[in-house]
Amino acid sequence: MKSGKWLALILIGMLAVLAGCGAADQPAEETQTGQSAVSDNDVSDLNWRVPSFTYTNQNNETVGLDDLKGKVWLADFIFTRCPNVCPPMTANMSKVQEALKQAGVKAEIVSFTVDPEHDQPEQLRVFAEKHHADLNSWHFLTGYSLEEIQKLTQEAFKGSISQQEGPSPDVPLLVNHPTQFYLIDQNGKVVKFYDGLKPDAGQIVQDVKNLQK
């Protein structure tokens, strides 16, 4: 890979994922820092790998990287008290899940909460059902500390998570977190990312198919 492209992708990996729920007074689209700097979202040459983990899903069942081995999966970051970007991101991921099903393509989906202290399995299940998630192949994960998910996000996705107190009782917490969808291959390697607020479901389906050939 040419050095210029490598540096551009590193920049996107660090800048684009900073967007999140922190800018509650701005339109969600304006929080997408740097997303348009390059059009190539392929990071397969950068060797981003998901470290081993074992967490708890919305059914209070353990789910870990070993359970995803040999499978293609998508990942994103959300929290149930999110005042802006997480509901549309989750609705978009639900549409991607439906597109995969319609195409007869199998893929797992993992949504990591960035508010693990509040988001227990019960809250995550209500949130998932509200957004019509098919929980047969979609795991909403919790059961870790904020520091743990910050470390995983940095190591695997070159992103960051930070929390701050919200402006009102109706919005008690703001979190800066990645707003991308990430495509991970059968060996736990991140190969692509997509704008979670404007994903191209057809492209994601095709990319999953390509990994399964």
Show binding-site residues: 82, 86, 177
Which residues belong to the annotated binding site for Cu cation?
A: 82, 86, 177
One-letter identity of residue 67: D
One-letter identity of residue 124: L
For helices 86-102 and 201-211, what crossing angle results, to 10°? 60
CB atoms under 10 Å from CB of 2, counted, come to 7
Buried b (16+ CB within 10 A) or exposed e, 53-88: bebbbbeeeebebebbeebbbbbbbbbbbbbbbbbb
| Cα–Cα distance for residue pair 99/116, rounded to 1 Å | 29
